[in-house]
Amino acid sequence: MKPKVTVVGAGNVGAQCAYRLAQRGAADVTLIDVVEGLPQGKALDMSQAGAVDGFDALITGTNNYADTKESAVVVITAGLARKPGMSRDDLIGKNAAIMKSVVENSVKHSPHAVLLIVTNPLDVMTHYARRISGYPANRVLGMAPLLDAARMQYFIADTCKCSIKDVYAEVLGSHGDLMVPVPRLSTVKGKPITELLTAEQIKAIVDKTTNGGAEIVALLKSGSAYYAPGSAAAAMAEAIVTDSKKVISSCVQLSGQYGIKNVYLGAPAKLGKAGVEEVLEIELTAAEKGALQNAAQAVQALYPVLP
Ligand code: A3D
């Protein structure tokens, strides 16, 4: 029997995550939403796509948390997405209420699960999910740094006119204006982009990465990005259920790394069955470390706003 991954929220991100998980084949997927019929309809549609795309996966749609029982990973995408002109932090009140009920229900039926948070504002919601769940920090993490790195990889590949597969990008910090892309550690086939591109080109890549989500929100006019976010959440859930020990940039609780304690922030983390099995501390310059500490302060300043 395959491990079970529950995806809460059958909207844009949740559906893409469920579909990519089904295609990847490492887990059975339960898709749950408050809207009746929505997860059931999408689960049927995805199951039938298996005939065309050549995968067998058990995808169940439901409105009942009893069907999520004994999930190995619960991916939480339930919540409002931003509209043009909104910051991610504007979502905090409404999404905290949704997060509370989702976490309480999930924990009741899957007391040993790893919670993977996608709902925005990401860094704050991940901290909140840990608080509500009472789980140890290794079993609650957030998706976003992987997405932010993917966006930076795209902008580097586009600038260098090379394959995205040859590009590595390092992004730390928060999922917002204080994100910390690190050009010095971002490479094309091992060569740092600081040796390949001009300072102006690098600044443009950093700015586009930081505003990557807002650019898509402005173009879509309603809703936010979902293909890359859903794929990133699926890749992380798979890394956990397969006990892969892959190092993936994740939103994790820091416990002294980078001089920061008790704050959820983006950093490279080894993922396996226990969730976050190790947070890696990479050597940063004083400026990079300072930027990370600014991000930590900004995220922490939002904690008192939570109910
Ligand atoms: P959307 O397509 O609106 O889907 C959200 C779904 O959540 C809807 O189907 C709702 O019915 C459902 N929902 C609402 N309340 C509940 C509940 N209590 N229980 C179960 N389901 C519920 O939005 P989306 O999929 O585009 O985005 C979902 C969330 O992810 C938003 O908060 C986005 O801001 C966030 N998001 C985060 C990232 C990151 O990189 C962290 C990227 C993209 C989106």
pLDDT tens-digit map of 7-16: 999 999 999 9
CATH of domain 4-143: 3.40.50.720
pLDDT at 39: 98
The closest of 179, 199, 196 to 187, measured between CA atoms, is 196
pLDDT at 278: 98
pLDDT at 64: 98
Count of CB atoms situated within 10 Å of the CB of 23: 16
For residue 199, what is the enclosing H or E element?
A: helix 199-210
Examine residue 121 and say whether the peptide bond preceding it is cis (omega within 30 degrees of 0).
yes
User: Is 175:202 a contact under the CB 8 Å cutoff?
Assistant: no
Domain-by-domain residue ranges, the chain? Answer: 4-143
Query: What SS3 state is found at 250?
Result: strand
Q: Cα of 263 to ligand 1 centre, how many Å?
A: 23
Q: pLDDT tens for residues 195-217?
A: 999 999 999 999 999 999 999 99
What pTM value is reported for the model? 0.98
Does ligand 1 lie within 6 Å of residue 8's CB atom?
Answer: yes
- For the CA of 144, the nearest atom of ligand 1: 40
Strand partners, 272: 275
Alpha helices (H) along 91-162: 92-109, 122-133, 145-160
Q: Cα of 9 to ligand 1 centre, how many Å?
A: 6
- Say whether pLDDT at 83 is over 90: no
The closest of 89, 234, 175 to 226, measured between CA atoms, is 234
The single-letter DSSP state of residue 69 is T
Question: What's the rounded mean pLDDT across residues 122-145?
Answer: 98
- Say whether pLDDT at 142 is over 90: yes
**Mean pLDDT over all residues of the chain?**
97
How do beta strands 140-142 and 28-32 pair?
unpaired
- Say whether pLDDT at 82 is over 90: no
Query: Token pair of 182, please?
Result: 């690190």
- Say whether pLDDT at 86 is over 90: no
Residue type, 285: T
- Say whether pLDDT at 84 is over 90: no
Q: pLDDT tens for residues 63-78?
A: 999 999 999 999 999 9
CA distances from 301 to 64, 79, 123, 268 (A): 35, 22, 12, 23
- Say whether pLDDT at 156 is over 90: yes
Q: Cα of 200 to ligand 1 centre, how many Å?
A: 36
Does ligand 1 lie within 6 Å of residue 147's CB atom?
Answer: yes
Q: Cα of 210 to ligand 1 centre, how many Å?
A: 21
Strand partners, 4: 28
- Residue 148 binned pLDDT confidence (cut-offs 50, 70, 90): very high
In the chain, the N- to C-terminal Cα span, in Å, equals: 39
The single-letter DSSP state of residue 154 is H
User: Which residue's CA lies nearest to atom 27 of ligand 1?
Assistant: 81
Helix axes 12-24, 227-241, angle to 10 degrees: 50
Spatial distance between the Cα atoms of 260 and 254, rounded to a whole number of angstroms: 6
Residue type, 85: G
pLDDT at 87: 81
Active site residues: 175
- For the CA of 142, the nearest atom of ligand 1: 41
